[in-house]
Chains A and B, each alone.
Chain A
Amino acid sequence: MKKATIQLEALACPSCMQKIESAVKSLEGVDKESVKVLFNSSKVKLDFDNEKLSIETIENAISILGYEVKKTQVKDL
């Protein structure tokens, strides 16, 4: 398992949070409980299983929604 912190461009609408949260949670291999979308600091924090999916897949799921991924940090749990 790895812990990722994804910095996005500034989020403006609270419904963006719901969208991003649902999109990330629907990915296989992401720990649903751990997903946290921080509205004001525009960050997504989550734990995921790096054997089931790559960090790029997660980034892609977010950027398809139209939110630019600025920086990603992945750490071992």
Chain B
Amino acid sequence: MQKLQRFVLTKKNPIALISAILIIVAFTGKLAFKNVEIFTWSLIIASILGIAPIAIQAYQALRVKVVSIDVLVTIAVTGAFLISNYEEAAIVTFLFLFGAYLEQRTLNKTRSAIKELTEIAPQSALKQMENGEFEEVEVDEVDVGDILLVKTGAMIPVDGTVLTGEGHINEASITGESVPVSKKKDAQVYAGTILENGTIQIVADRVGEDTTFGKIIELVEEAQDSKSEAERFIDRFSKYYTPAVLVFAFFVWLFSRDIELAITILVLGCPGALVIGVPVSNVAGIGNGARHGVLLKGSEVIHDFSKVDAVIFDKTGTLTIGNPKVADTEFYTNDTEGVLAYLASVESESDHPLAKAVVEYIGDTEFYTVENTDVVKGGGIVAQVDGHRVVVGNVALMEQENIPLNEKVREDIARFEQKGNSLVLTAIDGELKVIMGIRDQIRPGVKEDLQKLKRLGVKNLIVLSGDNQGTVDLVANELGLTEAHGHMLPEDKAAYIADLQAKGQIVAFVGDGVNDSPSLALANIGIAMGSGTDVAIETSDVVLMNSDFSRLTHALGLTKATARNMRQNIVIAVGVVIILLSGLFFSDWVNMSIGMLAHEASILVVILNGMRLLGYKLR
């Protein structure tokens, strides 16, 4: 019996096709040959065939105490059969089956974006067996500690550590950054990234769902099925709605004794488009995001982000590149080459960000041995180079070392600081030789993207930074931000966010996900930018897969479009039910077949409407 049930259920599509043929035969028989026998019998067979899978589904649903749509349709068709309305019975079952088929096809399309993501997951690996040879195995068979071989062009199957060999790896699937990274012994490699050249052996550290890539996939999968408050309401509603329709139809029959009317109500009452409309928008919106490097953690996030009032940015690494560069220099000597060589020699010993910027700026030069290096905390470095005393650091260090700074130098210093520079001064044997202004560059395109955010309806664009107020103001003026606050510690930022929220604003915080985790967690929408690290994925609501700022505008535009799409679908679904019911009670154009047709059509309309989101692009 169970086997028969399963057989019938797997043959739904052929059954729909046979029903369609029988219905055509019936109407040809009636209209062309005036043959009522053919008409009636074809329709009876079509109804019985068609109702079989629906009735089985209804029975299974009732067994687990669920009054599903199948139950309504089964009762309606049985009713139509009893009053010998075979025409309605056959057409309704056919429409229901055919509608289910189309739903399945179109739903698969809306899910395609996320499927693409899961399908690029690594499938196989070359694992070292007991005899020392490498053999190809399913990725599921790799355990932590196994040694794997990865050849040029192959995908790294697990998160691991390089054991031998070296190569360049494209990590775009994790970081969004498509410039290959060089990896040698002891370097970390990630599942889902691609070895572009070289051959490496790795030790598996994390496998399957524990890998960073696995976590991203799991996050997106859970996100598309996570439910907002509105959706949970619809779910609860439909749980009671379907039985309510059944009871209502029963009472209509009881009082009017009109079976036709009662079964029509059953069909009209099907809640199809309402229950599917919102999830469809959700999955298509999240799918679009996943394709564009924007991970949205579920429909609640979409809802909140689409209504955001204020976006708060961390400065370094978010609005700016986070990689300071020498922007201005002023020499007080003619021997620039010699000074730069001494400076580079001293600075190459330090890993301070400013020192790195200086070394990078000077580039190729002669390097001298540096002796008696003395690092002055909060000041700079004093060292002996080639027999000369070299002092490199800020103004305070120069004063401490009694280096004379004349009027012209003081003016230059003031000018450099005004531009938002951090200063590095160099003195050799007690004489100032050069000052360098170093500043972080604003990311290209940020200004235009911020304008887009404003046009999308964000009222406040705020920067909070640990830097001095002057530097922060400068960035804010250049970018047209509404507010700028410097000297902010992580806890100050969090307090600032709480304050805005108390004023009733919905706040998004954009940060790098590492030192800003309190703010990311506290904000209504925490947006981690520029890295696919575990911390960022876990503490934030939205992850932007690389440092490309334009993804933020795409994310906001997308959530707004998705929220709008959900509302449209709810209106379509409720609208169809209202029109059909009023048609039934106040006119006579509505019957069971038209009701079923309108329902199936509205389901397809909401799915197609949701599918539009897959192609969404911000203009």
Contact = CB atoms under 8 A, between A and B. Distances in A.
B582 to A, nearest CB: 26
**Chain B interface main SS type:** helix
A64 B68 contact: no
Contacts of B2: 64
A53 interface: no
Contacts of B526: none
B60 A66 contact: yes
Nearest to B100: A12
B103 to A, nearest CB: 5
A20 to B, nearest CB: 9
B210 to A, nearest CB: 10
Interface in B271-314: 275-276, 279, 282-283
Interface string B46-87: 000000000011001100111011100000000000000000
Size class of the contact patch on chain A: 20 to 34
B64 A13 contact: no
Most buried by B among A10, A39, A40, A73: A40
Given A39-B225, A40-B283, A26 B103 contact: no
B108 A10 contact: yes
B512 interface: no
A15 B283 contact: no
Interface string B2-25: 100110011000000000000000
B275 A65 contact: no
Given A10-B107, A38-B225, A39-B279, A66 B64 contact: no
A15 B235 CA distance: 10
B66 A19 contact: yes
Contact of B222 (A12, A14, A22, A38): A38
A63 interface: yes
Given A13-B100, A14-B276, A66 B57 contact: yes
B347 interface: no
B452 interface: no
B224 interface: yes
Contacts of A73: 140
B422 to A, nearest CB: 49
Contacts of A65: 60
B221 interface: yes
Given A40-B111, A65-B60, A19 B221 contact: no
Contacts of A66: 5-6, 9-10, 56-57, 60
A26 B64 CA distance: 8
B63 to A, nearest CB: 8
A41 interface: yes
Most buried by B among A26, A38, A39, A43: A39
Contacts of A13: 68-69, 100, 103, 276
Contacts of A22: 64-66
A57 B39 CA distance: 46
Given A14-B238, A40-B111, A41-B111, 5 more contacts: A12-B104, A19-B60, A19-B61, A41-B225, A63-B6
Interface of B: 2, 5-6, 9-10, 56-57, 60-61, 64-66, 68-70, 100, 103-104, 107-108, 111, 114, 140, 221-222, 224-225, 235, 238-239, 275-276, 279, 282-283
Question: What are the 5 A-B residue pairs with the smallest beta carbon separation, nearest first?
Answer: A66-B9, A22-B64, A15-B68, A38-B225, A41-B221
